[in-house]
Structure 1
Amino acid sequence: MSPLIEINDPAFAGANTILIDARGGQDSYQRYLAGHLKNAIYSDLDQHLAAKVTDAAIGGRHPLPAVKSFSALLGSWGITSDSRVIIYDDKSGAFSAARLWWMLRSLGHEQVQVLNGGVQAAVKAGVVLSTDAYTPTPVKLYHTHGDYAGTVDIEETGAAAQDERRLVIDVRETPRYLGQTEPIDLIAGHIPGSVNLPYILNLDADGKYMPAEILRSMYLDAIGDVAHDEVIVHCGSGVTACHTLLGMAYAGITEPRLYVGSWSEWSRRDLPMATGNNN
């Protein structure tokens, strides 16, 4: 199953389909109420897709919630292992939609996709949005087997960035990677040895993912001879990195892993940091 779905796909009307509005951010619930896909469940990044932060130096600004808690949440949304889950946001998947997609995939859920182009694509296609809050019918606890797969910790990320046989990709905007600006975290810069491949390059002018063959060429050019399972992707706090992991999956590259803590954790740990094109 492709990780992306177009708004005209008949699966949106499927009896077994669960829609999730994961646009998140400030005033996200008000924006959800102002207009969302009919029967879409509201999801908030901080409330639903991340654990409570006690110290961003341990896990970053958006650490993953405990699997048991996330499983209970999925059950409250009516999601079972047989559900087809379609997720969207209003940032071309770059805010919370790709994060939720990655979380479900990392727990082994097969039928999960992100709406290509987000809610804007639905509006452009003439879909009438709903202003009614949707309450799902809960089911029993979603059954998972083990922890989130495909993650790496801060120690492994640091070692990988200094190993020519491995690759650490930073998907933040280039000015943040270069250390020219840092609007969120405490210190500007990047992990020494990491390379910059901004997530925005995944998108075309309409806010949709570039064709799979173009993305594959771009990713393979960056990866070079590095084995795909030795590629680590990160961002500021483990959210937009998932946008690139989704793009990679769309392009047929499924092995790269996620450093969840990302720059928000690294920059708070008194570790080496680089600026400019210095590595």
Structure 2
Amino acid sequence: MSPAYQTLISATALREQLDGSPAPLLLDVGFDLADTEAGERAHAQGHLPDAHYLHLDRDLSGAKTDAQGRFRGRHPLPERERLAERLAGLGLSTGRQVVCYDAQGGMYAARAWWLLRWLGHAAVAVLDGGRQAWHAEGGALEGGAPAAPAPGDFRAAPPLVPMLDADALQARLGQLRLIDARAPERFRGEVEPLDSQAGHIPGASNRLFKLNLQEDGRFKPAEQLRQEFEALLPPFPAGQVVHQCGSGVTACHNLLAMEHAGLLGSQLYPGSWSEWSADPLRPLAKA
């Protein structure tokens, strides 16, 4: 498929691409934090043709503690080689287009998109509007499991996206532009339903990831996104921007929106607030 889609792909364009050879590899990553098996059940009931399911906890996240027993966050990054082998087993070959989708506004699909780029795979996009957009365009769904694919030749390559850890972030607080994708009330520290402490990393600005979407669940136009992000933190050198959220998932949604808007080069802090707040020695802010 050429040229490759690298941020978003519409349902109409995807239907056209599925007639090509090779067809895109479709990854259903729908999930529910309150019912961690709901996404897999929904996939079994109906998914895009030949789509494979990846689970946020089992496939798209790694061990919550490191070799020294330190907490890495609720959804730390998986082992690169393990995820690369999993994707190759689903038929991924170098250069093959990948399309990730969910039914939650892209919040999990954006995580999968970032991880593919972290593995060095450029030809990956999120289905704009997700499963709902596919259905609205008259796209068919199928149940059950897809046929076992022929393994691909994909191997992890140098990352295409930058990231930094908690120590590196703390050392550069005040020098970086930090964007927190959580809900405003969590950012302000009024409530904290999931993590050790309430509040946010000092110096962060808040942009709820859902603000990237229109009412129909599709992303806002690229130029509108660009204007909104530039207004958030002027002046806006994208290479000095770090995205975080609660556990490194919805932060990828803001990162995808920036990339789609042509604001390239921002970083991810994967551990996010769940890792940061678990260490009582790290600074925090409220309101």
Say yes or no: TM over 0.5: yes
Residues 39 and 72 from structure 1, CA distance in 2 versus in 1: closer, same or farther, beyond 3 angstroms?
same
Question: Which residues of 2 match residues 178-193 of structure 1 at below 5 A?
Answer: 178-193=188-203
Matched, 1:157 2:163: no
Displacement of 1:155 after TM fit?
A: 1.7
Q: C-alpha deviations, 1:214-259, integer Å up to 9, x for none?
A: 0000111123124211110000111111111111111001210000
What TM-score, normalized to structure 2?
0.90
**Match of 1:6?**
10
Aligned residue in 2 for 1:130: 142
Tell me how far apart the structure 2 counterparts of residues 275 and 111 of structure 1 sit (CA, whole Å): 40
Structure 1 267/39 Cα, relative in aligned 2: closer, same or farther at 3 Å? same
Q: Secondary structure at the match of 1:152?
A: coil
Does structure 2 conserve the Cα–Cα contact (< 8 Å) formed by 1:72 and 1:141?
Answer: no
Pairing 1:118–2:124 present: no
Give me the whole-angstrom Cα distance separating, in 1, the residues matched to 2:117 and 2:274: 24
Distance 1:24 1:141, change over 3 A: farther
Identity %: 37
User: Between Structure 1 and Structure 2, how many residues are aligned?
Assistant: 273
8 Å contact kept, 2:120–2:158:
no
Gaps spanning 5+ residues in structure 2: where?
none
- Runs of 4 or more, structure 1, over 4 Å off, are none
- Tell whether the 8 Å contact from 2:121 to 2:157 is kept in structure 1 after alignment: no
- Residue 65 of structure 2 corresponds to residue 58 of structure 1: no
Aligned-partner Cα distance in 1 for 2:6–2:86:
24
* Superimposed CA distance per residue, residues 36-62 of structure 1 (whole angstroms, 9 cap, x where no aligned partner): 111100110111111122379532111
Partner of 1:31: 42
Question: Aligned equivalents of 2:125 and 2:228: distance in 1?
Answer: 22
Does the alignment pair 1:15 with 2:26?
no
Task: Write the distance in 1 (CA, Å) between the matches of 2:149 and 2:268.
Answer: 32
Aligned pairs for 1:38-117 within 5 A: 38-54=49-65, 58-94=71-107, 96-117=108-129
The code of the aligned residue for 1:159 comes to A
Give the TM-score of the pair, scaled to structure 1: 0.92
Which residue is equivalent to 1:247? 257
| Equivalent position amino acid for 1:21 in 2 | D
- Of 273, 279, 283, which aligns to 1:272? 283
Corresponding position: 1:232 with 2:242: yes
SS across alignment from 2:187: helix
Q: How big is the shift at 1:15?
A: 2.4
Residues 81 and 142 in structure 1, CA contact (< 8 A), matched pair in contact too = yes
Measured against aligned partners, the alpha-carbon deviations of 1:136-187 in whole angstroms (never above 9, x if no partner) come to 4142552223457411111222233323xx2111111101100111121122
Point out where structure 1 has 5 or more consecutive residues left out of the alignment: none
Distance 1:149 1:212 in 2: 20
Task: Identify if the C-alpha distance between structure 1 residues 236 and 158 changes in structure 2 by more than 3 Å, giving closer, same or farther.
Answer: same
1:12, distance to aligned residue in structure 2 (A) = 3.0
